[in-house]
Amino acid sequence: MTDMIRVTLQPDAAAEKWGKKVSLTPTAEGFQIHLDAKFPARSIQKAARQLDGLGVEQVELSGEGWTLELQWAFYLGFTSAKKLTGVQWQGADATQLQQLASCFGWARQVTNQTPEQLSPEALANEAIAFLTPLAPDAISHRIIRGDELLAEGWVGIHGVGRGSERPPVMLVLDYNPTGKVDAPVDAVLVGKGITFDSGGYSIKPSESMSYMKCDMGGAATVAAALGLAIQKGLSRRVQLVLCCAENLISGHAYKLGDILTYKNGTTVEILNTDAEGRLVLADGLLYASETGAPLIIDAATLTGAAMVALGNDYNALFALDTALQQRALGYAEQVQEPTWPLPLAPWHQGQCPSPYADTANSRPMKGGGTGGASNAAGFLSRFVPEGGKGWLHFDLAAAFNSSNTGLWAAGATGMGIRAIAETLRQEAGKA
């Protein structure tokens, strides 16, 4: 049986004998964390990483000062791909913390699965199995697979996924707590679900491809965000659209120079098969637009450019609806998920020109050239209601780490789940 280690908080610095700026010292019953007054949550998360590195499996958070946010920071640092539990919560916040842990744990576990385990259809089924028990009488779903996608006009998901033997799918999950079939859809969440991204014929180098199981992190994030909002009492009708495919090379794979014609008439020339996320999201955004929902949120591990701009500490947020963007940034700050606005203007739609189609899916250069994250967002803006009112695009730069850091174990982080769930709770039904 694994021993339970007690962890307490200590506002004072460690004794000199432990060295300078030491954040973790032993006690008779376990360990104490010496808080950094300027960055208390960050210092706790770092100390929790150290405890995980020592092989500690089970901890009890004990003593004074453990707020919800500080307990959550400990959980984020302590857990890993191999250990998603092991924290005994303290006080009145235990229920909320367990809700968070269940959603983050599911998203991280799914994202960390191997590409062989998680086919596009398996991802859809994982989301159904996670969400349905949370509101069994309020949730229904539909999976559109393979050539059915083409028959219904979802050319992006079909085009990207047709190179794989395992068919691409679109999951449409309907959470309708009103019980009324004709109830309006108040919000739609759209997630990029590329279960493995080789880059297609614009093939990635091995070092970049090795962690491309994470490219369905957007789908996991929005599904977990919906689950968290449901557990917090969401009473509005919300639909979830996951755009799931494997981006592989074969005789059936889409090619550079191909042109896709979307349901809204937009034609897209393929200049980079590794810019596939925006192609599948375009279908999801078109579906969301067709519902008439006043709030549309998409999330994706979309561009390396967002990581170049922000590192792995912040998610990027794009919007043409600047008032909504500012409110969403406020919600993200409330739940302590670092999120930063990057530029998006209507003219970004024209940043990937094509002589053969309305637009290309990228510029014909590595990473899409300068401003790649904004150009990708500009591409997506072609597929939302005119003017982008009510639409938010999260580029999840902080959703995955390819190796251990001082704050995170290698793998999925779940960052973005709380910000999107809170935005959904605050904004759905506002219009």
Annotated active-site residue 278? The verdict is yes
Q: What residues pair up with 317 in beta bridges, in sequence order?
A: 341, 394
Which residue, among 23, 1, 4, has the nearest Cα to 13 in the 3D structure? 23
Of the residues 145, 192, 213, 278, only one is catalytic, namely 278
Q: If 0-12 CB within 10 Å is exposed, 13-18 middle and 19+ buried, where does residue 105 land?
A: middle
Distance (Å, rounded) from C-alpha 275 to C-alpha 367?
8
Annotated active-site residue 418? The verdict is no
Place of tokens 């100390």: 47
Distance (Å, rounded) from C-alpha 68 to C-alpha 243?
34
Of the residues 6, 42, 83, 204, only one is catalytic, namely 204
Distance (Å, rounded) from C-alpha 235 to C-alpha 390?
19
Distance (Å, rounded) from C-alpha 248 to C-alpha 274?
10
Cβ proximity of 295 and 320 under 8 Å: no
Distance (Å, rounded) from C-alpha 360 to C-alpha 352?
5
Q: To the nearest 10°, the Cα dihedral for 93, 95, 99, 100?
A: 20
Phi, psi values for residue 160, rounded to 5°: -65, -40
Q: Is 35 helix (H, G, I), strand (E, B) or coil?
A: coil
Report the catalytic residues. 204, 278
